[in-house]
């Protein structure tokens, strides 16, 4: 009976978001309260459980996501992203233009949120398409595959960062494993798959032709790369150094402090304030305005994460999450495959990668807690599944369709299939890693 209640609540969640057009945060709250009541949680404790779930899920994650948004916005506003893109284009040349855009998307996608990266990079794709008379979808999809994969797989993006915290995974190790899984996924879903799309005719709308910053006003390439990738460098360094340097209390304490995801993002934002902000002539007032704008951009994402945390807490307090885990254990599927499959189903039904990832995490959390699977790989498995087959219920689908001015049919055979390939190749990479980790 309890499993039927959970199934009913998940279906209701899907219907509220898709058919009812309800805000995902409100939908999570409604379903969490209903699920808690149906599962027998006393009404005197129900509101407290929802509040605890929201607080526990956000915690230090709020600072990580907010500062990640601040860094990404400054990278865009300062021209650092444009500098990286332009320099890579010059380095790779016309022959390898797809690869140049793919690498650009990967580098830019690590600090930037997907929507910001998309809007920032699409004008570059269009200008290259016009300049070299190449099909826009053919040359642009590799870059968008990179942006999508970094959004779904790699911290400090919201969903992966939230999953790392929920599963008590290691942020640095998850990032390292994520890079190993992400690269082949991007190559296969990007340049290789795009070869089949040369005949798709895209006529980008003039509305989306944005003004680029004059080259003489851009920050230097070294500065742009350093400032954009500093969080990645710090996370990787604090993960690897303790393994290669003889352990001492001082090194252990220092790496533990600097390796904290909140401290990493704070160091990166403070550094970028001067390297990308002040050094390019921005006033402190202007820089703070950029940061305030970034916070507004991700406020709803934080609320959705909080709502998902409330639903997870209800499942935990009622004891159903443990019951679900025991029921799933009897399925003849590897835990990583099972989590990926659940994320896929929710993603296809709801359309949001973030909601799919966090909802799946609440269901499979007891399996991770029991030590049946590596938590870092579970983050990546769910992340891969949450990208499966983006279609008409996903905002990213319409973003791609409208910017490239495509039909629904061509959007499905390009964008939707690219996302499907990313999800499948990602799972394959995670399963291979599970053999050696």
DSSP string, 204-271: --GGG-PPPPPGGGSPPHHHHHHHHHHHHHHHHHHHHHHHHS---HHHHHHHHHHTSHHHHHHHHHHH
Q: What is the pLDDT of residue 219?
A: 92
> Is there a contact between 176 and 401 (Cβ–Cβ < 8 Å)?
no
Encode pLDDT of 119-177 as tens digits: 667 767 876 787 677 899 999 999 999 999 998 988 878 789 889 988 999 988 999 99
Mean pLDDT of 332-346: 90
pLDDT at residue 48, rounded to an integer: 93
The residue ranking higher by pLDDT, 258 or 103, is 103
Lookup: tokens for 218: 């851009």
Q: Are 315 and 6 in contact (CB under 8 A)?
A: yes
Report the mean per-residue pLDDT for the chain.
85
* pLDDT value for 328: 63
Residue 143: strand, helix, or coil: helix
DSSP string, 267-301: HHHHHHIIIIIGGGT--HHHHHHHHHHHHHHHHHH
Domain boundaries, the chain: 2-434
Q: Find the range with the poorest average confidence among 54-58, 84-88, 217-221, 338-342.
A: 84-88
Residue 389, H or E segment: none
pLDDT tops 70 at residue 326: no
* Angle of CA points 75, 77, 80, to nearest 5°: 40
Whole-number Å distance between alpha carbons of 239 and 261: 12
What does pTM read for this prediction? 0.74
Phi-psi region of 40 (alpha: psi -120 to 50; beta: other; left: phi over 0): left
CA dihedral angle for residue 201, residue 191, residue 221, residue 90, rounded to 10 degrees: -70
Least Cα distance to 413 among 429, 435, 398, 391 occurs for 391
Q: Quick one: pLDDT band at residue 207, thresholds 50, 70, 90?
A: very low
The predicted pLDDT at position 393 comes to: 67
């Amino acid at each position: 009976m309890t499993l039927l209640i959970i199934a009913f609540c998940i279906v209701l969640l899907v219907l509220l978001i898709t058919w009812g057009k309800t805000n995902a945060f409100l939908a999570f709250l409604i379903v969490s309260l209903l699920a808690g009541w149906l599962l027998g949680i006393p009404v005197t404790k129900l509101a407290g459980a929802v509040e605890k779930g929201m607080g526990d899920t956000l915690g230090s994650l709020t600072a990580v996501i907010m500062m990640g948004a601040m860094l990404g916005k400054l990278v865009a506003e300062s021209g650092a992203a444009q500098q990286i893109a332009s320099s890579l284009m010059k380095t790779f040349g016309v022959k390898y233009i797809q690869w140049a855009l793919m690498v650009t998307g990967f580098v830019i996608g690590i600090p930037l949120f997907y929507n910001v990266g998309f809007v920032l990079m699409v004008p570059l794709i269009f200008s290259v398409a016009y300049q070299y008379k190449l099909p826009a979808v053919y040359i642009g999809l590799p870059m968008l595959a990179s942006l999508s994969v970094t959004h779904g797989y790699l911290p400090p993006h919201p969903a992966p960062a939230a999953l790392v915290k929920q599963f008590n995974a290691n942020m640095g190790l998850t990032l390292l494993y994520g890079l190993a899984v992400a690269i082949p996924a991007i190559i296969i879903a990007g340049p290789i798959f795009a070869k089949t799309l040369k005949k798709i005719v895209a006529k980008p709308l003039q509305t989306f032709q944005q003004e680029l910053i004059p080259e003489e006003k851009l920050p230097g390439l070294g500065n742009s790369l350093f400032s954009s990738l500093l969080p990645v460098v710090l996370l990787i360094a604090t993960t690897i150094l303790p393994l290669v340097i003889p352990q001492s209390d001082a090194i252990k304490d220092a790496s533990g402090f600097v390796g904290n995801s909140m401290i990493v993002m704070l160091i990166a934002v403070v550094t970028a304030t001067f390297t990308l902000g002040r050094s390019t002539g921005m006033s402190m007032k202007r820089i703070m305005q950029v940061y305030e704008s970034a916070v507004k951009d991700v406020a709803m994402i934080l609320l959705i994460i909080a709502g998902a945390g409330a639903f997870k807490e209800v499942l935990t307090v009622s004891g159903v999450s443990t019951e679900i885990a025991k029921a799933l254990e009897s399925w003849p599927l590897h835990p990583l495959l099972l989590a990926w499959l659940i994320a896929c189903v929710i993603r296809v039904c709801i359309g949001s990668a973030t909601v799919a990832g966090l909802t799946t995490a609440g269901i499979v959390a007891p399996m991770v807690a029991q030590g049946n699977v590596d938590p870092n790989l579970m983050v990546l498995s769910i992340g891969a599944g949450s990208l499966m087959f983006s279609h008409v219920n996903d905002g990213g689908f319409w973003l791609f369709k409208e910017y490239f001015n495509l039909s629904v049919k061509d959007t499905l055979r390009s964008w939707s299939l690219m996302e499907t390939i990313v999800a499948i190749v990602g799972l394959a990479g995670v399963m291979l890693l599970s053999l050696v980790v």
